[in-house]
Amino acid sequence: MRKLILILALACSFSLFGQSIDTVAVRSAIERQLTSYPESTLQDIYKSFYQEHFGPGHIISDTASARRYLMSELSEMGKTSSPYFEPTGSQGDYVRVYLSAVADSLITAEQLLDAFVRSANSRQEPTVSWLEKWQAIVSIILANKMELEGFVNDLPLLTEAARNSQAVHHSRRYNEAYHPHYRIVERSIFELELKPFIQTINSKF
């Protein structure tokens, strides 16, 4: 009961933030995620919009370690059914480029790494705070009665994470269902430097 009261209180406060955010685009992005990845939880929605808001800068410590981690992940990943790429969040400012594009020899690991590292430095300061955007996202989920496994338990934890601009991993449900392996690339870099080499039509997006 206390958790339900908290959610209702949060929903009322979230309505204050909608004017500066494209709520139609946000709703469409959430619906797209739930259709394409029905095992998604609130945590996975948080992650997608967080990646759009901050880009990959929170991931990279230095290029050498980023290269080692990429090569290790490529050597360990199994067969996946992921698309080669997909947008993050609702605006598509950043793109998830899946390692399957490298495994299938459409682009090289060095191409992806270079695009990934440069993308970390391309993000300009967002006009809306992350907490404000997160509150609007949750408001839209509540208003449209979108059902998400574990929502009641996840909401307080993720709202606290948003207050601290904290990144999160994919949920266990998502990882077990989809085995995601990707890097975040800024859209203009992706469009100019990577997309021309990815000739296969992306069936999901």
Report if residue 205 sits inside a domain: no
pTM for the full predicted model: 0.86
Domain coverage including residue 179:
2-197
- What tokens were used for 182? 């990707």
pLDDT digits (tens, 9 = 90+) for 68-88: 989 999 998 877 667 899 999
pLDDT of 203 > 80? The answer is: no
Report if residue 88 sits inside a domain: yes
Report if residue 70 sits inside a domain: yes
Are 178 and 37 in contact, with CB atoms under 8 Å apart?
yes
Mean pLDDT, residues 112-128 taken together: 83
25-34, 39-48, 75-84: the lowest-pLDDT one: 75-84
| pLDDT, greater one: 125 or 69 | 69
Report if residue 56 sits inside a domain: yes
pLDDT digits (tens, 9 = 90+) for 93-109: 999 999 999 999 999 99
The tally of domains found in the chain comes to 1
Q: b vs e for 196-205, b when ≥16 Cβ sit within 10 Å of the residue's Cβ?
A: eebeeeeeee
Report if residue 188 sits inside a domain: yes
- How far is residue 6 from each of residues 41, 69, 113, measured CA to CA in Å? 19, 40, 42
